[in-house]
Amino acid sequence: MAKSSPQAGKILASPRVSRAAKPAVTEASEVWQARIGRDLAEQLRTDAVVLGLDGRTDIVRAALNLLHKQAAEERMAQSVGEFYGDSMPPLPLGVVPADDGS
């Protein structure tokens, strides 16, 4: 059985840059590429059909948008934690505290 590399199955989301060239960049956009395994590629093609995405560019764009959204949510959670420190943040209006069973 062949060993897979430690990078197998990981999406490498860094711009592809050769030593002599910079990434393809215009004022409005950049080109990013990722090398992925065949199994993940097939799963993504199946997912694209379910989600109505047309082609690899749409798949990568949707994935990067989800990554960005998740990071924004994490930044928000961290800022709430930093603001309230060790104290409990207030619950949103209309939310009743959970019964802790005591």
pTM score: 0.60
How remote is the C-alpha of 34 from its chain's centroid?
Answer: 13
Tell me the CA distances in angstroms from 90 to 56, 77, 80, 83, 93, one per residue in order: 43, 14, 11, 12, 9
Tell me the CA distances in angstroms from 57 to 19, 22, 93, one per residue in order: 25, 20, 42
Cβ neighbourhood burial of 64 (10 Å; 0-12, 13-18, 19+)? middle
How do residues 27-44 score in pLDDT, each as one tens digit? Answer: 888 888 889 999 999 999
How do residues 55-89 score in pLDDT, each as one tens digit? Answer: 999 999 999 999 999 999 999 999 999 999 999 88
How do residues 49-59 score in pLDDT, each as one tens digit? Answer: 999 999 999 99
Instruction: Read off the pLDDT of each residue in 1-22 and give the average, rounded to a whole number.
Output: 51
For residues 51 and 7, what is the distance between their CA atoms, to the nearest angstrom? 27
